[in-house]
Chain A
Amino acid sequence: MKKIGSLLMTSLLALTLSACGSSSENAPAASDGTGASNEIVTYTIGTDATFPPFEYEQDGKYVGIDIDLINAIGELEGFKVDLKPMNFKGIIPAITANQLDAAIAGISITDERKQVVNLSDTYFEAGLSLVVHSDNDSITKPEDLKGKVIAIKKGTAGSEKAEQLAKEYDITLNYFDSSPAMFQEVVNKNADATIEDFPVISYKLAVDPNAHLKIVGERLTGDQYGIAVSKDNEELLQKINDGIKKLKESGKYDEIINKYIGTSAK
């Protein structure tokens, strides 16, 4: 009797243990990089969701260059993507606080960011543009910003550039959480100008006939977008870099870019 009891107990224990083993999604997968292993890891990936054409919502789904890219990389490298849209300014802090494994949100590669997170190889060449109200003819170059008000988005390369300009000229900075709020500020003429990533503003002007905005002057900087990855996860960084390389080689990368912006904004 006792023997049967203990046998039952051990088999039950063994069952529960094996069940635990197969259902734990976040355990590091013994992936050989081909995605062939039957255990798929899920990574929590942050994004901004108000940043077309890179990430935006359409018919209740998140779409955009970044979204397609990260999904394609996941397919190639054998991991699942759990997308977490949030305010851009919170993305890097969320990675350092281990709330996110990585993030793809048109993140420019900067030295400050490199200190706190790992950044992948470049996946897009962007750059910053100066944007003003379409009625405004008095601002054509950074020097014209003297004494003016600029609307910027917290924690972006654009805000960093604006802060530099503010040191040079006497500029007032108004900070916002999203690109739409920042654009609205210029449209309502509460701010004279804003600084936004070139592909984003050119996309907005292309799809929104009532934008009331225009790009002035040359690009202010040449920025490069990278995918931010937690410093605790070298393996994921490796996978992402491999994925970017494979996508570029296979032509799938160009396919994704052309799907959203064609060749106009590159």
Chain B
Amino acid sequence: MMSSWQVIVDAMPLLLQGLWITVKIVVISLLIAFVIGLITGLINTSSNKILKFIATLYIDIIRGTPLLVQMFFIYFALPAFLDIRIPAETAGIIAISANAGAYIAEIFRAGILSIDNGQREAARSLGLSQVQTMRLVILPQAFRRMIPAFVNQCTISIKDTSLLSVIGIRELTQSGEIIISTNYRAFEIWGTVGILYFIIIYSISRLSRVLERRLSLK
């Protein structure tokens, strides 16, 4: 039997490769999700009925189905139905962005609605346009209030990427499974995988606290 330490050292290169893929997918997905969320959130606070209907439908579908099913649908069902090819990582990024986007849209909506109406009225009476009011007055204030919710969604999305192992993406969880399938050392490998996730998620939580302090209203 190899020592536990040796097992972990041998597994490290593969696990770190997996961690890199996890981080890459999360960063790209969250950037896309942020844009989706901003647009959908703005639509939801506007008065356009048709756009609002579409936005609400999208959010309801995402919230009403498990992420795992969304992943299977995008990767296994859609390509077969549309006769196209979607590479696994692309499918994974689509699934995580669409999923996080819906939740971020709700964060934006709540953030925008939380700003007192007097702010909007004051900006409008100073002669700012609707768009300027949103961009210069409402969003900057709303954004500060949204930080904790964003960070929360960010950590949820990191954990969600572990589901991507089912569509064959070699992220951190998948790397762990592949190593265990040949050396059967579950304790050492899952322990290490857990610690790696923890380090990433914990650092983000610490970072967000610094950010909150920096941006807090003086």
Interface pair B79/A151, CB less than 8 Å apart: no
A176 to B170, CA, bound (A): 10
Interface pair A188/B76, CB less than 8 Å apart: yes
- Chain B interface mostly helix, strand, loop or mixed? helix
Interface pair A151/B184, CB less than 8 Å apart: no
For A116, the chain B residues whose CB sits under 8 A away are: 184
A190 to B166, CA, bound (A): 14
Interface pair A175/B174, CB less than 8 Å apart: yes
The listed residue (B80, B87, B178, B184) touching A175 by CB distance below 8 A is: B178
A-B CB proximity, top 3 nearest = A155-B181, A174-B168, A154-B181
Q: Which of B137-173 contact A (CB under 8 A)?
A: 165-168, 170
Residue of A nearest to B180 (CB): A93
- Interface membership of A97, Cβ < 8 A: yes
Interface pair A175/B168, CB less than 8 Å apart: yes
A-B contact count (CB 8 A): 51
Interface pair A188/B181, CB less than 8 Å apart: no
Nearest CB of B to A107, in Å? 13
Given A92-B184, A96-B184, A190-B85: A175 in contact with B76 (beta carbons within 8 A)? no
- Which of A5-13, A179-187, A239-247 participates in binding chain B? A179-187
- Interface membership of A112, Cβ < 8 A: yes
For B182, the chain A residues whose CB sits under 8 A away are: 112, 155, 160, 163
Contact flags (1/0) for B72-83 with A, using CB distance below 8 Å? 000010011000
- Interface membership of B12, Cβ < 8 A: no
- Interface membership of B51, Cβ < 8 A: no
Interface residues on B, range: 20 to 34
A185 to B86, CA, bound (A): 11
- Interface membership of A189, Cβ < 8 A: yes
For B106, the chain A residues whose CB sits under 8 A away are: none
A174 to B85, CA, bound (A): 15
Interface pair A190/B88, CB less than 8 Å apart: yes
The listed residue (A96, A97, A151) touching B168 by CB distance below 8 A is: A151
Contact flags (1/0) for B174-204 with A, using CB distance below 8 Å? 1001101110101000000000000000000
For B165, the chain A residues whose CB sits under 8 A away are: 177
Interface residues on A, range: 20 to 34
Residue of A nearest to B190 (CB): A93
For B87, the chain A residues whose CB sits under 8 A away are: 190
A15 to B182, CA, bound (A): 50
For A155, the chain B residues whose CB sits under 8 A away are: 180-182
For B168, the chain A residues whose CB sits under 8 A away are: 151, 174-176, 181, 185
The listed residue (A97, A151, A177, A187) touching B166 by CB distance below 8 A is: A177
Given A175-B168, A177-B166, A188-B79: A159 in contact with B181 (beta carbons within 8 A)? yes
- Interface membership of A148, Cβ < 8 A: no
Given A174-B168, A190-B87: A184 in contact with B177 (beta carbons within 8 A)? no
What are 6 A-B pairs with beta-carbon distances under 8 A?
A163-B182, A174-B168, A175-B168, A181-B166, A184-B76, A190-B85
A147 to B198, CA, bound (A): 36
Nearest CB of B to A87, in Å? 9
Residue of B nearest to A159 (CB): B181
Q: Which of B85-104 contact A (CB under 8 A)?
A: 85-88
Nearest CB of B to A190, in Å? 6
Given A174-B168, A175-B170, A184-B76: A189 in contact with B85 (beta carbons within 8 A)? yes
Nearest CB of B to A31, in Å? 30
The listed residue (A154, A174, A189) touching B177 by CB distance below 8 A is: A154
Given A93-B184, A96-B184, A185-B168: A175 in contact with B85 (beta carbons within 8 A)? no
Residue of B nearest to A180 (CB): B76
- Interface membership of A80, Cβ < 8 A: no
Residue of B nearest to A88 (CB): B181
Nearest CB of B to A64, in Å? 23
A112 to B76, CA, bound (A): 33
Nearest CB of A to B77, in Å? 9
Nearest CB of B to A196, in Å? 16
Contact flags (1/0) for B124-139 with A, using CB distance below 8 Å? 0000000000000000
A190 to B87, CA, bound (A): 7
